[in-house]
């Protein structure tokens, strides 16, 4: 088994190392991740400039590849041949914050797993529902063990074609986790606010600010599972068709 | 009615101007678009740096706003208050190439419309299925009239909540268009290939190259409609849950 590990926080992020270390005994692990943070940068295919790929060393001394492209570019480059050996599974993470509800199309962690599926390889995104405020460093050990378990299941059972898994792990110790819940994508409530400022020359600039997003706590959703202390496993697809809306639109007189 | 017009090709792109001009008689039109091309840059929320917004003049002499953020940032900034007046509809385009199948999560044109829906405003993305090779300039007139008609329908009939429209227009004259088809998202076939090169100092770099993507021509899909000469109107949602996969995953022993 050959597992590609990537993320959207950059190749030296502790969550990536925790993930890579957790799955090393499942097969060959290749780490290939962006050289900088790409959070909330979406699903990217870089075609207007060439991309670099170079070797780096992770903090445990193991080798990794890094690129100046986006998380999804890392996956595309690996699958297109920068990594010579066939890849059986792409793991993306561990993101320090959860990726639930509408986060999934923004998230570099999730879109890297989307890119895997488009390339015909199973993809799993793993994110940690860490508290908004915490004393560094975050403890990724539970999430890493969860990721290993989900990866094992996916390698053994096979993922449905065209489906990626979006895994979110509560910030709890192993024995505090209530279990695993297969969930649907919930509803995010963003609380973005415009923070308009003036630069030293009096010209306006804008931060997208506001409070950390919340979500609708509902049973059966990613958000509900996390709140109840469960690992949330949401199968996602790349067909966004709103089927229920089709009939209504057909009634419009075209 | 107040319509926000944006795109992913940059504020001076001819497709944007054609779109803005086509809907001016439907209400107040504000143009707010990126200052550069953001094709295939995905769904972005820029939070690690502040964004600028400034006035520019389009080639027909009309005023517009531009930002150094992504297409989805333009929409977020406008809805958060950089544009003072309430916005009733967001139109994104006209993209010179179709956005069908898996293109939708990569596409700046489509993700700008996604951002509108997340902000609670109807969003419509409009793309032109132009030939791969053509003599410049492209003729956006048919697509602009189609966009106007779809915008009118959406303003009159209302879009289902949480749904955006992904509109793709064949490159035909008005009287050659067969009609309007409400479609589902089809299947893209990417033909990306790695183009590995050496720089003048002998170091490797990589282009994501290969042929222009094709797709599976199937009745009822965006791709099928375009091939048959119809305007394709695909309702899209932001809930990516693969519902059919949920039962299968629940059978795994967690």
Distance CA A141, CA B46 (A): 30
pTM recorded for the entire structure: 0.95
**Quick check: A147 contacting B, CB < 8 Å?**
no
User: Does residue A11 surpass a pLDDT of 90?
Assistant: yes
Average pLDDT of the segment spanning A36-53: 94
Which residue in A44, A46, A190 is closest to B118 by CB distance? A190
Please list, residue by residue across B131-164, b when 16 or more beta carbons sit within 10 angstroms of its beta carbon and e when fewer do: eeeeeeebebebbbebbbebbebbbeeebbebbb
pLDDT tens digit sequence for A82-119: 999 999 999 999 999 999 999 999 999 999 999 999 99
* Cα nearest neighbour of B105 on chain A: A43
Give pLDDT, residue B248.
93
Residue indicated by tokens 């993320």 = A7
B225 in contact with A at a CB cutoff of 8 Å?
A: no
Nearest-CA distance B241 → chain A (Å) = 5
Q: In chain A, what residues touch B77 (CB-CB under 8 Å)?
A: 194, 206, 208
B105 and A102 within 8 Å at the Cβ level: the answer is no
Cβ contacts (< 8 Å) between A241 and chain B: which residues?
Answer: 184-185, 234-237
At residue A105, the 3 state secondary structure works out as helix
Give per-residue pLDDT as tens, B74-113. Answer: 999 999 999 999 999 999 999 999 999 999 999 999 999 9
Sequence ranges of the domains in chain B: 2-188+216-250
Other CB atoms closer than 10 Å to residue A101's CB: what's the count?
A: 23
pLDDT above 90: percentage of residues in chain B: 93
CA distance B59 to B159: 32
Cβ-contact A123, A90 below 8 angstroms:
yes
Give B253's pLDDT tier (boundaries 50, 70, 90): confident
Cβ separation of B185 and A51 shorter than 8 Å?
Answer: no
Query: H helices within chain B, ranges in order?
Result: 14-23, 71-77, 103-106, 108-118, 141-157, 222-227, 243-250
The correct CATH number of A2-188+216-250 out of 3.40.50.300, 3.40.1210.10, 3.30.70.890, 1.10.1740.10 is 3.40.1210.10
Nearest CA in chain B to A106: B43
Which DSSP category does B159 fall into? P
Q: Which of A42, A147, A204 to mutate to test the interface with B (most CBs of B within 10 A)?
A: A42
Q: Which of B241, B243, B247, B252 to mutate to test the interface with A (most CBs of A within 10 A)?
A: B241
Residue B41 in this model has a pLDDT that exceeds 80: yes
């Amino acid at each position: 088994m050959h597992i590609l590990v990537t993320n959207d926080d950059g190749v030296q992020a502790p969550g990536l190392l925790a993930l890579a270390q957790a799955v090393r005994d499942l097969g060959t692990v290749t780490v290939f991740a962006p050289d900088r943070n790409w959070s909330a940068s979406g699903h990217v295919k870089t075609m207007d400039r060439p991309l670099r790929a170079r070797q780096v060393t992770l903090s445990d001394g193991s080798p990794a590849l890094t690129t100046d492209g986006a998380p999804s570019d890392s996956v595309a480059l690996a699958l297109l041949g920068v990594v010579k050996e066939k890849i059986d599974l792409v793991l993306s993470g561990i993101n320090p914050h959860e990726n639930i509800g509408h986060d999934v199309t923004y998230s570099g962690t999730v879109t890297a797993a989307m890119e895997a599926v488009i390339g015909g390889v199973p993809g799993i995104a793993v994110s940690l529902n860490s508290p908004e405020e915490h004393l560094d460093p975050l403890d990724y050990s539970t999430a890493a063990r969860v990721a290993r378990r989900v990866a094992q299941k996916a390698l053994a059972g096979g993922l449905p074609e065209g489906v990626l898994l979006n895994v979110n792990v509560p910030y709890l110790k192993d024995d505090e986790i209530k279990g695993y819940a297969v969930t649907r994508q919930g509803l995010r409530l963003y609380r973005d606010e415009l923070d308009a400022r003036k630069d030293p020359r009096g010209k306006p600039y804008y931060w997208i600010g506001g409070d950390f997003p919340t979500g609708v706590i509902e049973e059966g959703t990613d958000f509900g599972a996390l709140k109840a202390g469960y690992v949330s496993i949401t199968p996602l697809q790349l067909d966004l068709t709103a089927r229920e809306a089709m009939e209504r639109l057909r009634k419009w007189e075209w």
